[in-house]
Amino acid sequence: MDLFDAIAQRTSIRRFKDQPVPEEDIRRILDAGRLAPSANNTQPWSFLVLRDKALLANMAEAVRQQVDRMLPFAENEKQAQRLAAYKSNYYTFFEKAPVVIAAFMEAYDASANQLLARMGYSAEDIARLRPNPGLQSVAAAIEHMLLAAHALGYGSCWMTGPLVAQEAFEKILGYGREKFIAALLPLGVPDEKASSKPRKSLTEISRTVG
């Protein structure tokens, strides 16, 4: 598939057919993530392939429980309703996918940041000057995987909503504070029509200087 076609046609898919995804296709998708650019070629990522239905149900249940804890803090009825909708779908549909890839952000040692800190820049200043190169690297890997999945005929969705339950995921999947899940990518044969979301125009978001 032509790269520009893949970019133009990819949409988030949230419903999947009950059809397995062959190992070889998962491997090709992971490999597309592996080949992404990264800050200083540090490749600060790792990928966990989740197929176990009970485990995914456990994770989704942890998300629902966390949303329940969040609900009393909603500012108004509208926000509460939106959260309730997230609980039943937007944050939890991953449990119905045949495969979910958890994209981890591993420890990232930014030596330039350490130098800036020694020069007296605050953590806040450094975050503004160099906004999280490690996480930007993981994001590149995630987008590579979404495009690869699309090119192979699968649907997926970049999900950070479920990460409200990251602390529960640490326990369920057995990882510590040294790394964290940057996104979940449910993966499967689409069971819904692609529907393109509107985008801002190029004139609105770009300009040329000089």
Ligand X SMILES: Cc1cc2nc3c(=O)[nH]c(=O)nc-3n(C[C@H](O)[C@H](O)[C@H](O)COP(=O)(O)O)c2cc1C
Q: Compare residues 32 and 157 and give the one whose CB is closer to ligand X.
A: 157
Rounded to a whole number of angstroms, the minimum distance from the CB of residue 14 to ligand X is: 6
Interface positions with ligand X (CB under 6 A) = 11-12, 14, 90-91, 157-161, 197
Q: Residue 102 — φ and ψ, nearest 5°?
A: -95, 120
Displacement of CA 30 from its chain's centroid (Å):
14
Rounded to a whole number of angstroms, the minimum distance from the CB of residue 94 to ligand X is: 8
Contact (Cβ atoms closer than 8 angstroms) between residue 178 and residue 59? no
- Nearest one of 164, 160, 184, 159 to 66, comparing CA atoms: 164
Q: Compare residues 111 and 196 and give the one whose CB is closer to ligand X.
A: 196
Q: Compare residues 98 and 186 and give the one whose CB is closer to ligand X.
A: 186
Q: Compare residues 39 and 146 and give the one whose CB is closer to ligand X.
A: 146
Rounded to a whole number of angstroms, the minimum distance from the CB of residue 176 to ligand X is: 23
Question: In the structure encoding, which two tokens stand for residue 26, read together?
Answer: 């998962």
Q: Compare residues 78 and 197 and give the one whose CB is closer to ligand X.
A: 197
Rounded to a whole number of angstroms, the minimum distance from the CB of residue 114 to ligand X is: 27
Residue nearest to ligand X (CB): 161
Rounded to a whole number of angstroms, the minimum distance from the CB of residue 24 to ligand X is: 25
**Token pair 């989740």 is at which residue?**
50
One-letter amino acid for residue 196 of the chain: S
